[in-house]
Amino acid sequence: MKIIRNISSMQKYSLKCRDKKKIGFVPTMGYLHEGHLSLIKRARKENDIVVLSIFVNPIQFGPKEDFEKYPRDFKRDERMSKSAGADIIFYPSWKDMYPEGYKTYLEVKDLQDHLCGRSRPGHFKGVATVVAKLFNIVQPFNAYFGQKDAQQCIIIKQMTRDLNIPVNIKVLETFRESDGLAMSSRNSYLLPKERKAALVVSRTLLAIKKNILSGERNINLLSVKANKLIKKEPLARLDYFSFADENTLEKITKLSGNVLVSAAVWIGKTRLIDNFRIGIK
Amino acid sequence: MKIIRNISSMQKYSLKCRDKKKIGFVPTMGYLHEGHLSLIKRARKENDIVVLSIFVNPIQFGPKEDFEKYPRDFKRDERMSKSAGADIIFYPSWKDMYPEGYKTYLEVKDLQDHLCGRSRPGHFKGVATVVAKLFNIVQPFNAYFGQKDAQQCIIIKQMTRDLNIPVNIKVLETFRESDGLAMSSRNSYLLPKERKAALVVSRTLLAIKKNILSGERNINLLSVKANKLIKKEPLARLDYFSFADENTLEKITKLSGNVLVSAAVWIGKTRLIDNFRIGIK
């Protein structure tokens, strides 16, 4: 496995082989978990070359967010991605990605303003911008993302389609701990009692999913129930619990079509997200 | 010469040959003039395949601007680009370029707000967005632009560098009519007496350039002179006459380094632009 830090070396490599070999790309912020590894393994099956990027992207963090303390462990990431089958780790510095005088930003209107965009203004502008840059550098045929970041996936799909970027976006199921907690690098922030409390997120989503599957269609009732379930957990503070149209991410008042049910919950100082998709006839 | 209207046909073609052959790209809004042809001819010399795009980009026009009346003559453009050596005209519809639900926009901070950006809010966002799309569709090795649109060239260079787009941006000298008027598709709007009046733009810029070359360094004096010269022409109304740093496009108060001297002038209902670059030790 090769480690490439230099942007232009990575791009030269990609430009040289992009049309002879399929490049599969897994962009990450590092501190890998099984969810990331499942993306790498899928990329390994579907492509000739697998590139993983590790880049904690400063412009997608707000000024009061956790950019500084975001967990980093390159040696561990290196071992894990090698064993999962990556060929290259692209590991640029933020000074090379955003040199002095950097000025260009992407935005995906409307989609960026809902859900996490409301609590994290500017976040998805940062995400869209870095993904566009990484796609240009790595020149992938396929790129892999996890469903846990549902809004991110929808925004990246829209951006890719809108800008005619010739990359297939593949979204893989959320990977969970055995007790149901969605895997996230941020889970490492959780103290032991917070780790237990964090279960409230997946448990509440699952309860709501079961309610819908057994025929409940009243969004108000479902919302009240979700709020109650989360309030029961004293360490949890709800950011949002949302029923949205999966295409527009707009709040829905009637359960129909493709629906994204998603939640963001603070457990102490850690903000966790999770979701499920459901098609309703 | 081939004419391709369908976006995905154009992209498939480009993806198939981009790494075997160099694609040279000349993006235009059509109604070609000698300036465009000089770009095509240069592209012909430096590449294996020359693609010209003709697309009057609605999102770079303000609501009160001339999108509707912008001159169009595809048959004429076809003849001219064939004779200049183009292999392909890419001629998409705006409904295909911006389908319903389109949401993604690029912006190049700071640079987009000066000069023409001040008089045409949103203009360069539209330019940056369409050029990013066209680059993704056409997959060029080299792309050609005219120095007449100085700010556009600077913004596209910055965007290409910032987003790591693997395209070389080449800027060619402004092409002029024999009397000095910078060529522009919008010159076709000018009535005969306006056509004469329009000369005030290049004449004023040339006078200022001569002044600087003979040692004048006082920007206030030069500005006053430029304003006077333009006022002398009763059909002209000055939008701006600017001395700016060529890298940041910020207004300068001292003549030094690489300077962009540029003007935008209304002649009747037609807005014309022109400029020159000068390096001052």
The residue from B172, B194, B229 where one domain ends is B172
According to the model, what pLDDT value does residue A73 have?
98
Out of A104, A110, A247, name the one closest to residue B159 (CB). A104
Is residue B36 annotated as part of the catalytic site, yes or no? yes
Answer yes or no: do B95 and B211 share one domain: no
Cβ-count burial of B254 within 10 angstroms (0-12 exposed, 13-18 middle, 19+ buried)?
Answer: exposed
| CA nearest to A36, candidates A79, A4, A80 | A80
- Whether B163 is in a domain gets the answer yes
Both A253 and A162 in a single domain? no
Q: Residues 170-229, chain A: which have Cβ within 8 Å of B?
A: none
Q: Give every CB contact of residue A209 below 8 A, 6+ residues apart in sequence.
A: A261, A276, A278
Q: Which helix (DSSP H) or strand (DSSP E) does residue B14 occupy?
A: helix B7-17
What pLDDT, on the 0 to 100 scale, is given for residue A281? 85
Determine the distance in angstroms separating the CA of A239 from the nearest CA of chain B, rounded to an integer: 26
A136 touches chain B (CB under 8 A): yes
pLDDT of residue A16: 96
**Domain carrying residue A219:** 185-280
The residue ranges of chain A whose pLDDT is under 50 are none
B163 contacts on A by Cβ (under 8 Å) = 104, 129, 132-133, 136
Residue A137, pLDDT score: 98
**Looking at beta carbons, which residues of chain B come within 8 Å of A108?**
103-104
**pLDDT, position B281:** 85
CB contact under 8 A, A11 and B166: yes
Q: Do A103 and B133 touch (CB under 8 A)?
A: no
**CB pair distance less than 8 Å for A105 and B104:** no
Report the CATH number that the domain containing residue B47 is assigned in CATH: 3.40.50.620
Q: What is the pLDDT of residue A49?
A: 98
A61-81 per-position pLDDT tens digit: 999 999 999 999 999 999 999
Whether residues B131 and B201 share a domain: the answer is no
Residue spans of chain B under pLDDT 50 = none
Say how many domains are in chain A: 2
State which of B128, B151, B172 marks the end of a domain.
B172
Last residue of a domain, one of A113, A140, A172: A172
The closest alpha carbon to B198, from B212, B210, B183, belongs to B183
Bridge-based pairing state of the strands A257-267 and A236-245: antiparallel
> Do you know the residue count of chain B?
281
- The reply to whether B262 falls in a domain is yes
Helices (H), chain B: 7-17, 34-46, 74-84, 94-97, 116-119, 123-138, 150-162, 192-197, 199-213, 219-231
**B177 belongs to a structural domain:** no
Specify the 3-state DSSP secondary structure of A278. Answer: strand
Q: With contacts defined as CB-CB under 8 Å, which chain A residues touch B159?
A: 104
Query: What whole-number distance in Å separates Cα of residue A68 and Cα of residue A123?
Result: 16
Nearest CB to B163: which of A104, A111, A159? Answer: A104
Is A11 close to B108, i.e. CB distance below 8 A?
no
Give the tokens for residue B205: 């810029």
Instruction: Give pLDDT, residue A153.
Output: 98
The token pair at B100 is: 């319903």
- pLDDT tens for B219-231 read 999 999 999 999 9
Q: Report ipTM for this prediction.
A: 0.97
Cβ proximity of B172 and B225 under 8 Å: no
Q: Which residue has the tokens 């790309």?
A: A25
Domain CATH number, residue A216: 3.30.1300.10
Beta carbons of A107 and B111 less than 8 Å apart: no
Do B141 and B207 share a domain, yes or no? Answer: no
